[in-house]
Amino acid sequence: MQITESVRNDIVAAMKGGDRERVGTLRMLLSELQKAAKDGGSVDELAVLRRERKRRNEAERAFRDGGRADLADAEAAEARVIEDYLPAELGDDELAAIVAAAVEQSGAQSATDLGRVMPIAMAQVAGRADGRRVSEQVRAALAGA
């Protein structure tokens, strides 16, 4: 089943359950998925979900830095709802193995080779880890190389 259809069904269930926050988040998500489908025809629904999760995570950090814990908590709750539709995140061990293979494949020797390693690692990760997390792992691997 497409993610869009799943979100539609979950909106109905959340409405019946009286979960207003979840309904609002799912409606926003459905709107973004529909907008992407209208704009591009063939749409990568997972890319839309990852983009929206990233926006929520960035907003959460900004609100926490600004001392607005209430708004940060709301953004974090929206991110958790979006994550329900994404594939499971890679564990630290799995990510470290992918990064090590990418470093070896690229022949990287130092931190200046980060640009050669990242595309290889990100292709292997395929959206199952945040780019910031991958970058941190690559930097750590290159620092130890």
In this structure, of 12-21, 100-109, 125-134, the range with the lowest mean pLDDT score is 125-134
Residue range(s) defining the domain that contains residue 28: 3-83
Question: Number of folded domains in the chain?
Answer: 2
Closest CA to 142 of 106, 103, 84, 116: 103
Judge if 104 and 40 occupy the same domain: no
How many other CB atoms are there within 10 angstroms of residue 50's CB atom?
19
CA pair distance 47, 58, nearest whole angstrom: 16
Is pLDDT of 1 > 60?
no
pLDDT, tens only, 30-44: 999 999 888 766 678
pLDDT, tens only, 4-24: 899 999 999 999 999 999 999
The answer to whether the beta carbons of residues 55 and 32 sit under 8 Å apart is no
Q: Residue 98: give its domain's CATH number.
A: 1.10.10
pLDDT, tens only, 61-99: 999 999 999 999 999 999 999 999 988 888 888 888 998
Cα distances from 101 to residues 21, 106, 126, in angstroms, run 42, 9, 15
pLDDT band with cut points at 50, 70 and 90 for residue 56: very high
Is pLDDT of 145 > 60?
no
CA pair distance 71, 62, nearest whole angstrom: 10
Judge if 77 and 7 occupy the same domain: yes
Judge if 68 and 97 occupy the same domain: no
Question: For the residues 112-133, what does the mean pLDDT come to?
Answer: 84
Is the full-model pTM beyond 0.85?
A: no
Judge if 63 and 10 occupy the same domain: yes
Judge if 26 and 45 occupy the same domain: yes
Judge if 11 and 43 occupy the same domain: yes
Q: Which of 40, 60, 83 is the last residue of a domain?
A: 83
